[in-house]
Homo-oligomer: A and B are copies of this chain.
């Protein structure tokens, strides 16, 4: 039995898939299914059974040979692995259209992610309350990030200011950034950045569609 060989072999994609499994296991549980095999669950997910098993094997043994996985148990265990059994507070910087959409996005709460602080530079917005949370001035970003010990933030600002915001965030203790601004952020090695670049995404999709005629 191997346990917690963290940092060994698993990739970012393994973890992304774990979160995907988690969401789908919850669906499966709601349907009243109590035990499921790697074969059955992965048919819904565009993942191979062996990849599912391998992803889990990095963190322990959760199944029963000859039987499959107990759905409720596996949900618990994956939650422990990815950490979504505990609330996690994040910040959102830039409350334009996209920021507003992210603030209202229900998908985060499924993972116990709470947007705890929201920042914008527009004086018309500052001080107002949206989705039950007060919009703060970017000027108070450092102070509030530190005070709330926030470690993860979303950047949905215009591209021109994204690098500067990133630096302020990192300076205040943030270790992970989900970046929606279409720029490549320059950050130290110990900071995790995940980019969602919708323009590039769509453009490369169009490329493949053209290729295929």
Contact = CB atoms under 8 A, between A and B. Distances in A.
State the oligomeric state as a number of copies: 2
A33 interface: no
Interface stretch (A62-70, A116-124, A139-147, A204-212): A204-212
B90 A202 contact: yes
A204 B83 contact: no
Interface in A21-79: 23-24, 44-46
Contacts of A207: 15, 81-83
A188 to B, nearest CB: 12
Contacts of A194: 201-202, 204-205
A198 B196 contact: yes
Interface in A130-180: 151-152, 154, 175-178
Interface string A71-100: 000000000011110001010000011101
Contacts of A203: 19, 82, 84, 111, 113
A170 to B, nearest CB: 12
Interface in A1-33: 6-7, 12, 15-16, 18-20, 23-24
A212 to B, nearest CB: 6
Given A198-B105, A198-B196, A209-B175, A204 B98 contact: no
A197 B20 contact: yes
A55 to B, nearest CB: 12
Given A6-B211, A101-B98, A104-B97, A83 B206 contact: yes
A91 to B, nearest CB: 12
Contacts of A82: 203-204, 206-207
